[in-house]
Each structure stands twice: as structure tokens, then as C-alpha cells.
Amino acid sequence: MAQTISPFFRSPFTDLTGGMVSHHLLGRCQRQEIRLMDCLEAHGLDRGMRECGPLIDDYRECHTLRKQFQRFMALVVAVGRAGWTSHTTRALADDYRSFG
């Protein structure tokens, strides 16, 4: 949830305009965001940041795809070290399956 910022002063106006970016409608992170918002609504913002930690991590990963990019970069580094051969390509495919 790096893109959302809690306002310093809360008012009905900030409640209406707070969540302008969301994945609720047909986004690839729709389910994770709805679970996270339900949890935060149930616990409140301050306590929810502690209680909903795993859901926050799941949503953040879905939104940023950080782990997927790190796997890709590991493959790029491995190919750079080994060079492109058919044997290397098969080995990298096996390595990629072990990451997943």
C-alpha cells in the first residue's frame, strides 16, 4: 500500500477522496485488496497495520510484483555468467521452476 497516504487531518472530504486508486473493479489484485480493506475496516487503520500485516504483504507483492522481478533478475545474472547455450537454457528452466 505504498501509493496510499493517510491524511494528517481527517474530515468527511478526506474520507470521500482518500481511495482514488484501487483494483476493486477487474484488477489483477482485486481479491487481495478487498481482503485487505475488509481487515483494515474491521481493525481500524492503526491496529490494522499490525493485525493485517500478512494481507498487506500479499497485496503489496501483487501490486508491485517485486519477487517476480527478483526471480527474473536472478535468471539474467545466471545467463550472464554462463552464456547462452542450449544446455544453459535447460538448466535455467530447471532453476526457474525451483524458484516458483
Segment 7-20 shows an average pLDDT of 68
Q: Do 44 and 57 reside in the same domain of the chain?
A: yes
Q: Do 53 and 92 reside in the same domain of the chain?
A: no
CB of 60 closer than 8 Å to CB of 1? yes
Cell numbers found for residue 92? 535455467
Residue 49 lies in a domain: yes
Q: Do 18 and 38 reside in the same domain of the chain?
A: yes
Range of the domain at 42: 12-64
Residue 7 lies in a domain: no
Residue 2 lies in a domain: no
Which residue is it, cell 480493506?
37
Torsion angle, alpha carbons of 78, 84, 87, 88, to 10: 10
Q: How many domains does the chain have?
A: 2
With a threshold of 0.75, does the pTM exceed it? Answer: no
CB of 56 closer than 8 Å to CB of 1? yes
Say how far apart CA 80 and CA 66 lie, in whole Å.
21
Q: Do 32 and 52 reside in the same domain of the chain?
A: yes
Q: What is the pLDDT of residues 15-68, one digit of tens each?
A: 666 665 666 667 788 889 889 989 999 998 889 999 999 999 999 898 889 988
Residue 95 lies in a domain: yes
